[in-house]
Amino acid sequence: MSKFLKFTLLAGFAVSATAVFAGDYGLGRPALPEEIAAWDVKVMPDGRGLPEGSGDVWTGDEVFAEKCAVCHGDFAEGVGNWPKLAGGWGTLDHEDPLKTVGSYWPYLSTVWDYVNRSMPFGDAQTLSADEVYAITAYILYSNNLVEDDFTLSHENFTEVEMPNADGFIVDDRAETEYPKWTGEPCMENCKDEVKITMRARVLDVTPDEEKAEAAPVEAETVAVAEATPEPEAEPEAPAVDPALVAAGEKVFKKCKACHQVGEGAKNRVGPQLNGVMERAAGSVEDFRYSSALKEKAAEGLVWTPETLAAFLAKPRDYMKGTKMSFAGLKSEEDQAAIAAYLASFSD
């Protein structure tokens, strides 16, 4: 194929002319070693790129419970539609196979690499190397691949055997499919009869077209502002500043990965926040709060602009052991804006 020839020629040029292959535009600047170290954190299947460190299953259990279990479940079994990380052994050739780290992932490096750079969801790149080793060890344990006294480190990393390591083949469509489906197709009398064998409407899982016609954002903001009590009618209520509420809506984007607020808000990674202001902490039904938050609640914590600001400034300092994996909101303006925004949603 001529396209393939072009590939080869270009690749050949790159190989044979390395010395002069360097470009001649003189654009860009050399990357510094510190910069490369900061961004190049990928780990290869043979373990290249792994930092020194280690973590055991029991530490992993604790870290996982704190930072991962809200989505992935205490035993890596997955919550709701969030990914299941354990189980599914021997299901790959069954109907609806369950693809987990244990049943499907061919390389352990992929687990380490992904947890390290992309997790926890909404708070990526905050785990220490030891924590990543510990979480990886716990996921292996959840999949019955190691015993509970196992410690994973950069030294024994490549010794771990992944059950589905040999379960993959390189794309073979060029051999198995293309020859079959190439050539002049049938134009007439291609089949004797045609019957409808399945209908989408029977299942009816198509999103409702009417539901999509949501009110524009501006209208929502106005409605929110109108719904807040008049200062005269209720002197104790703080005056609502619509600009602050609007600013809070923007800041709330940082929270949206885990919290919902407004009509139809549901508990997600974090509890839904309707009516949260001026209410006792930890009072949303059906939400599994951390014991840290439950303790504070027992001590009588109520969410006011002041307590919320203190919590949001540095969540883990204010409430040691909180499940909220959020780095913090440093700006006092942002803290006040969030409080004003949340105050605009009642139960």
What's the min distance (Å) between Cβ of 116 and other proteins? Answer: 9
Tell me which amino acid residue 264 is: G
Q: Does 110 bind other proteins (CB under 8 A)?
A: yes
The closest of 247, 325, 246 to 72, measured between CA atoms, is 325
Site residues for other proteins, 278-317, by CB under 8 A, read: none
Q: Which is nearer to other proteins, 147 or 173 (CB)?
A: 173
DSSP letter for 253, please.
G
- Kindly state the DSSP code that residue 215 receives in the 8-state scheme: P
- Interacting residues with other proteins between 186 and 245 (CB under 8 A): 186-191, 193-201, 203-213
Give the 3-state secondary structure of residue 55: strand
Asked if 109 is part of the footprint of other proteins (rule: CB under 8 A), the reply reads yes
- Residue 327 has which token pair? 């780095």
Complete DSSP assignment for 69-122: HHHH-TTS---TTSPP-S--TT-TTSSS----TTTT---HHHHHHHHHHH-STT
Assess 178 for contact with other proteins (CB under 8 A): yes
Q: Which of 62, 92, 288, 298 binds other proteins (CB under 8 A)?
A: 92
Of 87, 122, 248, 271, which lies in the binding site for other proteins, with binding defined by CB under 8 A?
122
Residue 6 interacts with other proteins (CB under 8 A)?
yes
Task: Taking each helix axis as running N to C, give the angle between helix 129-142 and helix 108-118, from 0 to 180 degrees, rounded to the nearest 10.
Answer: 130
Is residue 288 within 8 Å of 276, Cβ to Cβ? no
CA distance 111 to 85: 10
Residue 112 CA to residue 55 CA, distance in Å, equals 12
Site for other proteins, residues 16 to 35, rule: CB under 8 A: 18, 21-23, 25, 27-31, 35
Toward other proteins, which CB reaches closer, 56 or 113? 113
Q: Smaller CB distance to other proteins: residue 28 or 235?
A: 28
Tell me: does residue 45 bind other proteins (CB under 8 A): yes
Q: Side chain identity at 168, as an amino acid letter? A: F
Dihedral of alpha carbons 306, 312, 314, 316, sign:
positive
Among 58, 75, 89, 114, binds other proteins (CB under 8 A): 114
Q: Which of 34, 39, 218, 233 binds other proteins (CB under 8 A)?
A: 39
Q: State the nearest-atom distance from the C-beta of 252 to other proteins, in Å.
A: 13
Residues in region 69-88 near other proteins by CB under 8 A:
71, 78, 80-83
Which token pair is 64? 């996982």
Instruction: Give the pair of three-digit tokens for residue 224.
Output: 């929110």
- CA neighbor of 88 nearest in space, from 77, 80, 72, 79: 77
Which residues on adjacent β-strands are paired with residue 280? 302
Query: With respect to other proteins, which residue has the nearer C-beta, 31 or 298?
Result: 31
Least distance from other proteins to the Cβ atom of residue 22, Å: 4
Helix, strand, or coil here: 14? helix
Segment interacting with other proteins, rule: CB under 8 A, options 2-10, 278-286, 288-296, 328-336: 2-10
Considering the complex, state which of residue 83 and residue 229 has its C-beta at the smaller distance from other proteins: 83
Q: How many residues does the chain have?
A: 347
Contacts to other proteins from residues 324-343, by CB under 8 A: none
Our CB check for other proteins shows the closer of 180 and 263 to be 180
Residue 266 in contact with other proteins, rule: CB under 8 A: no
